[in-house]
Amino acid sequence: MCTILIDVAHGLLTDLGWTEDWTEDLGDITTARSTESLMLLVPSIIRNRGMEPFALTIAAGD
């Protein structure tokens, strides 16, 4: 079931124009707490930028 959901999410992002290197599979439900904590940044970003669209990026070192 999980693989099907990952494939669907990947397909949707591809349909929206995302390239392969723009997506990162962070794993299963055990990563939920850390990824949801990123939402704590949103109020501060909105205060500083207003309702202007923004994105969070993960920079990976090679």
pLDDT value of residue 4 = 81
Structure tokens at 33: 């707490």
Alpha helices in 1-62 (DSSP H): 2-15, 32-37, 42-49
The answer to whether the predicted template modeling score (pTM) of the entire model surpasses 0.75 is no
Q: What is the rounded distance in angstroms from the CA atom of residue 3 to the CA atom of residue 54?
A: 29
Q: What is the rounded distance in angstroms from the CA atom of residue 31 to the CA atom of residue 46?
A: 25
Ramachandran assignment for 50, one of left (phi > 0), alpha (psi -120 to 50 degrees), beta (any other): left
Residues of the chain whose pLDDT is less than 50? none
pLDDT value of residue 47 = 93
pLDDT value of residue 1 = 56
pLDDT value of residue 17 = 93
